Amino acid sequence: MAKPKPRVRVPRKPVPKGEVITVKTLISHPMESGQRKDKKGNVIPRKIINRFEATYNGELVFAMDLHPAISANPYIAFNLRVDEAGELAFKWVDDDGSVYTKKAKIKVAS
């Protein structure tokens, strides 16, 4: 399997202080549910992203627990109130313990 590739979209332009922005994330991952069988009838073992976390300047701002009912290539979007400029850090945790990360900077309009 190709290594999961995380992608993140945040406003590129400086954000007025106090404004609420939408943060969109996507990671390439099969999200194998553990419910499917291969051609021989053997169950394909479950392998999903089970946890997503986002911190802003080190503080946890949003998290999500994922179950097999989340589609392949999980898309997750949430809001963030920008009180100060800083850096978003994202973390996706795989069933096998792998952790995939990505960062995004937010600028504040002066």
Partner 1 sequence: MQTRIGRRRLLFGTGGVVAGLGLAGLAGGSARADAAAVEAKIKEIVGDRTVQEGRITLDAPEIAENGNTVPVSVSVDSPMTADDHVQRVHVFADGNPRPDVCTFHFTPKNGEAWASTRIRLAKTQKVYALAEMSDGSVYLTSREVKVTIGGCGG
77 belongs to the binding site for partner 1 (CB under 8 A): yes
Spell out, one character per residue from 48 to 67, where the chain touches partner 1: x when CB under 8 A holds, - when not.
--------x--xxxxxxxxx
20 belongs to the binding site for partner 1 (CB under 8 A): yes
Interstrand relation of 20-27 and 6-9 (parallel, antiparallel or unpaired): antiparallel
28 belongs to the binding site for partner 1 (CB under 8 A): no
CA distance 102 to 91: 7
Token representation of residue 18: 């106090």
SS3 label, residue 52: strand
Token representation of residue 54: 């986002």
70 belongs to the binding site for partner 1 (CB under 8 A): yes
Total interface residues for partner 1 by CB under 8 A: 29
102 belongs to the binding site for partner 1 (CB under 8 A): no
Shortest distance in whole angstroms from residue 98 CB to partner 1: 19
Residues near partner 1 (CB under 8 A) are 20, 22, 33, 35-37, 56, 59-72, 74-81
